[in-house]
Structure 1
Amino acid sequence: MRPSVPPPSAGALDATAVGLLVLLCALWGVAQVAVKAGNAGIAPVLHCALRSLGAAALVLLWCRLRGIRLGMRDGSLAPGLLAGLLFAGEFLLIFAGMDRTTAARGVVFVYFAPFVVALGAHRFTPGDRLTGAKLAGLAAAFLGLALAFADSLRLPSARELEGDLMCLAAAVLWGATTVVIKASRLARVPAAKTLLYQLGVSAAVLPPASLLLGESWTIRWEPPVVAALAYQVLIVASASYVAWFWLIARYPASRLAAFTFLTPVFGVAAGALLLGEPVTPALAAAVALIGFGIWLVNRPEPARPPAD
């Protein structure tokens, strides 16, 4: 039997949640640039494995310093292992998929995840129902994302199609991970412990996966590669993910997921600032459409008339 989870608030996110979400999306947008830089010197799945290993060590140290109990008597082991496997599969598919398709195409498919979250939350999380306004908002934000990368959405080659399908599968696993956390005892344990399950499982699973895929374990320890890996370990896969899982435990998952459409927009901005990549005029319209979609998902729901 699934443990009961207190229904989340049906209202809009408060200022703390919104501010933290925008910051996280900005950090994750820069991470897209870091992944590109790191992949220049480390094979993709090995790169992801090193990120998980380094972040797991940091989060474990944090738990020890903060006195966070890591015992299994709280009933979190089974959902924690499941979330860890989903997390590992998600990033294996993202890193491998991005190696086969373009970054712009991959981003569009990965950000199908909010739809998975909304459907899963509707089914498994009390109080987080999928309304017409939420669905319209998610669709608007997704269309804005597609508009931002429209120039890259041509007919794919066979290899690109393979990468696209990997990124779409990663989106399903990402959404499923969020729903598992929200609808299980993981919603009641410290966010650092929830993250440690995922980093620990992925750190164990991804190195063998890298070997099975025939990746080279030769690493070019050049300054940009080291900086990119350090950013992902210190900022993305540890601090930012702890904050994200803290948010998941306290706010409606579907409302949180809508904000993640901002991440690739920040990624485009980071690419322009750090790599000199061009920004197309369509980006402004895309940002407006994404913002409108987020507003639709998060606007207060009208009060229902009392039953007779």
Structure 2
Amino acid sequence: MNLRHSFLAVLVAFLWGINFVAIDLGLHPAGHDVPPLLFVAFRFLLVVFPWIFFIRKPDVGWKAIIGVGLFMSAGQFGLLYLGMALGMPAGLASLVLQAQVLFTILLASRLLGEKPTRKQLLGVVLGVAGLGVVALGRSVVAPVLPLMIVLAAALSWAVGNVVARHSRAKSGLGLVVWSGAVVPLPLAALSLLVDGPDAVFSTVVDLQPATVLSAVYTAVFASLVGYGIWNRLLTLYPSSEVVPFTLLVPVVGMTAAWLVLNEVPTPAEVLGGLILLLGVATAVLGVPRKPPIVGPALRVKSPL
């Protein structure tokens, strides 16, 4: 990856690290709790409108657009916001979500023919062990369900990564905006079913400034800027060259959560987190670039 693209990848990691604190502040403004699925729907309204009227549809099929929207946007953020609303700390969420790197490697191997090396498989094993330590430590001090939900969000993100990579869209920003259109109506409807009309109506009519500012940050900086760059990089480089930069996300996220939210992880969470990051680093750092092998289910004219 050239220097300019490396700088952009670092910028994305910074924006995404701050994003977790912004989400937490938006979900829990003073004296209020915002329904998480409604919050995600609101975020993606800002991602889509008015930009969809000015940004051309990406040069990919509707299956790719819907797939990215369902997995990288609706699935990832619906589950992430739900996990954080149920008590998952922002800093820890930024760490656990990096399991997406390990999931991406495994899914890219199966679906894109990017066969993992022994080193990558060792990294996956270390990462799983780290997650086990985090889960064990978390279960001692708090319910483990929010952790499992955020882990499911990581899996959804990984599926979205593979779909985005296979799509080879030339416009990363276009893919973000057009795929984002998949999110608002289904998640708003789901929020009505889960939270009830009264909770949704009271949130809308009494929208707090912290929630609005959070939604603006997550929509503009995390989604439009961050995912616009991310999706473009995934179309230019193998997944193994792009995903290592997400190692910086929990560093930024946990530091920001400590400074802003006064979150201090337990020793077990720190130990498990270090093992997880070691696994991710083992899996993705220093991996030689090889021409990918096209899987039997996929037929492409050039390397993905």
Q: Is it true that 1:82 corresponds to 2:67 in the alignment? A: yes
For the structure 1 residues 263 and 146, does the alpha-carbon distance in structure 2 shift closer, same or farther, using more than 3 Å as the test?
farther
* 2:99 counterpart letter in structure 1: F
Query: Could you report, residue by residue, the CA deviation over 1:83-126 in whole angstroms, capped at 9, with x for unpaired residues?
Result: 22223122212111222242255445433211221012122325
1:109-120 to 2 correspondences below 5 Å = 109-120=96-107
Name 1:197's counterpart in structure 2: 178
Name 1:253's counterpart in structure 2: 239
> What is the distance in 1 between the residues matched to 2:189 and 2:276?
42
Q: CA deviation at 1:141?
A: 6.3
Name 1:136's counterpart in structure 2: 122
Question: Which of these residues, 37, 49, 55, is aligned with residue 57 of structure 1?
Answer: 49
Q: Which moved more, 1:207-216 or 1:130-139?
A: 130-139
> What is the distance in 2 between the residues matched to 1:288 and 1:109?
12
Structure 1 gap ranges (5+): 1-12, 304-308
- Sequence identity, in percent? 24
Query: Could you report, residue by residue, the CA deviation over 1:195-229 in whole angstroms, capped at 9, with x for unpaired residues?
Result: 12321001221110111112512234443333222
> What is the distance in 1 between the residues matched to 2:37 and 2:106?
29
Q: Is it true that 1:28 corresponds to 2:16 in the alignment? A: yes
Name 2:7's counterpart in structure 1: 19
> What is the distance in 1 between the residues matched to 2:39 and 2:277?
31
* 2:258 counterpart letter in structure 1: A
TM-score normalised per structure 2: 0.77
CA contact (8 A) 1:188 1:249 kept: yes
CA contact (8 A) 1:265 1:287 kept: no
TM-score normalised per structure 1: 0.76
For the structure 1 residues 58 and 137, does the alpha-carbon distance in structure 2 shift closer, same or farther, using more than 3 Å as the test?
farther
For the structure 1 residues 108 and 232, does the alpha-carbon distance in structure 2 shift closer, same or farther, using more than 3 Å as the test?
closer
For the structure 1 residues 89 and 151, does the alpha-carbon distance in structure 2 shift closer, same or farther, using more than 3 Å as the test?
closer
* 1:76 counterpart letter in structure 2: G
The size of the alignment, in residue pairs, is 278
Name 2:165's counterpart in structure 1: 182
Question: Which of these residues, 275, 286, 289, is aligned with residue 299 of structure 1?
Answer: 286
* 2:108 counterpart letter in structure 1: A
Q: Is it true that 1:275 corresponds to 2:256 in the alignment? A: no
CA contact (8 A) 1:137 1:296 kept: yes
Name 1:96's counterpart in structure 2: 82
> What is the distance in 1 between the residues matched to 2:46 and 2:289?
46
* 2:20 counterpart letter in structure 1: Q
Name 2:301's counterpart in structure 1: none
1:142-291 to 2 correspondences below 5 Å = 153-155=138-140, 160-183=143-166, 186-215=167-196, 216-217=199-200, 218-219=202-203, 220-278=206-264, 290=277
* 2:138 counterpart letter in structure 1: L
